[in-house]
Amino acid sequence: MYLRSIRNIACLCLVVPLAIITGCRSMPKGDATIVTDAREINKTEGIVLKADTAQSSIECIGTKPAGRHHGTFKLQDGLVQVVDNKIASGYFTIDINTLKPDDQKARGNAMLQKHLLSDDFFDAVKFPLASFAITDVQPIDKPNEYMVSGNLTMKEITKNISFPARIKMNEKIIVADALFNMDRTFWNMHYGSDNSLGDWFIRPNVNIKLHLVAHQ
| Three-class HEC string of 161-213 | EEEEEEEEECCCEEEEEEEEEEEHHHHCCCCCCCHHHHHHCCCCEEEEEEEEE
145 pLDDT exceeds 70? Answer: yes
Q: Which residue has the higher pLDDT, 185 or 13?
A: 185
The residues spanned by each domain of the chain are 28-215
The pLDDT score that the predictor gives to residue 16 is: 37
Closest by CA to 23, choosing from 63, 60, 74, is: 63
Length of the chain: 216
Which residues have CB under 8 Å from 20's CB, separation 6+? none
Which band of pLDDT confidence, cut at 50, 70 and 90, is reported for residue 191?
A: very high
Q: Write the DSSP symbol of residue 53.
A: T
The pLDDT score that the predictor gives to residue 175 is: 98
* Mean pLDDT over each residue of the chain, to the nearest integer: 89
The pLDDT score that the predictor gives to residue 12 is: 36
Domain 28-215 in this protein, CATH class:
mainly beta
The pLDDT score that the predictor gives to residue 182 is: 97
CA distances from 81 to 5, 7, 84, 171 (A): 68, 66, 10, 10
CB 40 within 8 A of CB 135: yes
